[in-house]
Amino acid sequence: MKFGAYTACLHDRSLPETLEILKGMGLTSVEVNSGGFIPAPHCPVDTLLGSESARRDYLQVFADAGMELTALNCNGNPLSPLPNEGLKHAEDLRRTIELAGALGIEHVITMSGLPGTDPTAKYATWVVNPWNGIDMEILDYQWSVAVPFWTEIDELARRHGVRVAIELHPRNLVFNATTFQRLIAETGATNVGVEMDTSHLMWQQMDVPTVIRTLGDRIFFAAAKDVKLFEGVKTKGVLDVDFGHVPADAENKTPVAYGYWCTSWPENPAWRFVAVGIGHDQDYWVEVLTALREVNPDTVINIEHEDAEMSTLDGLGFAAKTLLAAASKVD
């Protein structure tokens, strides 16, 4: 197995400085953003697509640092009915697949996306619990949008020698084992699999090792990210909706589409992202890594840091120590 980090949390630093930081933590793998929800300062997509020499120079930056570029990340909503979100993110994904092939990078990380309720919808709609028959009609429409798109993406990935790993992320059509299995069944995709981001399974109360073993060789990649439950879960459950508006003039907003950004977390949350090892102890991570090794001994696991209570360097360092210590205990 290989261990590294997704560099989005270090976008305020240059790529060489970022690589030096990660190497100093004992990590060897790097994942950079290439489009979708957030900017891509560590991956100049246009330049790299247009120049073979630029691609050689770019890869040499990683080689000189003794690090390996293992994935391009293009998380977004390519199925959104908002043109400035859906059309842009879909094109970002296509260009990322093309670039990954040109760079010789095997994996592209993304999300399945989420359409609206019907062809006239303006906004994406996530059907959380389809107990109402109306919801089944919405889901039928959403799958009718998703299947042709992902059939196209699978063919594109095959053509460029790339494997696309979908993060099982809430507010997406594919967010657990059964929805992923449906996507594969209806598309016949060969080059579409799962990025096993542990965190979103955790807060939904799934058993991560069981999901890993259920999906088997469809686990293409992994993200190490932790979650901790808090007192708020006792009255709100895991579907916490007490998020807040963020004003347009707020500093350090996290974009999700043109004119839209992440909301603010509840003051008394049901759950929150934490550094790897804080929500689940080292023994738990031994179980996760053991399951990942069973399905693929060469799995790449990249840390994704989103703990708002820890600095970036402290959170990454804590996570790296937890993972590397857990890895040492995997038979």
Query: Which whole number is the average pLDDT over 118-140?
Result: 96
pTM of the model: 0.95
Residue 20 has pLDDT above 80, yes or no: yes
Q: Does the pLDDT at position 249 exceed 90?
A: no
β-pairing, 255-257 vs 260-261, is: antiparallel
Given a cut of 90, is residue 26 above it in pLDDT?
yes
Higher pLDDT, 256 or 200: 200
Which among 163, 159, 194 has a CA at the least distance from the CA of 179? 194
Neighbours of 290 (CB within 10 A): 16
Longest dimension (CA), the chain: 58
**Tokens 């799995």 correspond to what residue?**
299
pLDDT in tens, 103-118: 999 999 999 999 999 9
User: What is d(CA 201, CA 207) in angstroms, rounded to the nearest whole number?
Assistant: 7
Percent of the chain with pLDDT over 70: 100
For residue 276, pLDDT over 80 is answered with yes
Nearest partner of 35 among 70, 7, 76, judged by Cα: 76
> 272-283 burial, b if ≥16 CB within 10 A, otherwise e?
bbbbbbbbbeee
Three-state DSSP at 320 gives: helix
Residue linked to tokens 């993060």: 167
Residue 291, pLDDT > 90, answer yes
Q: Which pLDDT band, with edges at 50, 70 and 90, does 13 fall under?
A: very high
CA distance from start to end of the chain: 12
Q: Are strands 68-73 and 29-33 parallel, antiparallel or unpaired?
A: parallel
* pLDDT confidence of residue 259: 77
pLDDT at 258 over 80: no
Token pair 């919801």: residue: 135
User: What CATH number is given to the structural domain containing 130?
Assistant: 3.20.20.150
- CA dist 256 to 136, 186, 248, 267, 314, Å? 27, 28, 13, 22, 26
pLDDT score of 265 more than 90: no
Q: How many domains does the chain have?
A: 1
**Distance between CA atoms of 125 and 172, rounded to whole angstroms?**
9
What range defines the domain where residue 181 resides? 2-327
Residue (of 329, 319, 270) closest to 9 by Cα position: 319
pLDDT digit string (tens) for 300-331?
A: 999 999 998 999 999 999 999 999 999 999 97
pLDDT at residue 227, as a whole number: 97
Confidence band (pLDDT; 50, 70, 90) for 94?
very high
pLDDT average, residue stretch 148-160: 98
Asked if 219 and 194 touch (Cβ cutoff 8 Å), the reply is yes
- Return the SS3 of 297: coil
State the pLDDT at residue 201: 96
Give the residue-averaged pLDDT of 69-98: 97
pLDDT > 90? residue 248: no
In the predicted structure, residue 162 carries a pLDDT above the cut 90 = yes
Q: Which residue has the tokens 């950004």?
A: 261
- Say whether 327 sits in a helix, a strand or coil: helix
pLDDT at 131 over 80: yes
> Residues 304, 38: contact at Cβ < 8 Å?
no
Tallying the residues shown for the chain, one arrives at 331
Q: Note whether 95 and 35 are within 8 A (CB).
A: yes
**What is the percentage of the chain residues whose pLDDT exceeds 90?**
90
Confidence check: pLDDT of 213 > 90: yes
Rounded Cα distance between 217 and 210, Å, is 13
Strand partners, 274: 226
Of 32, 42, 18, 116, the residue nearest 74 (C-alpha): 32
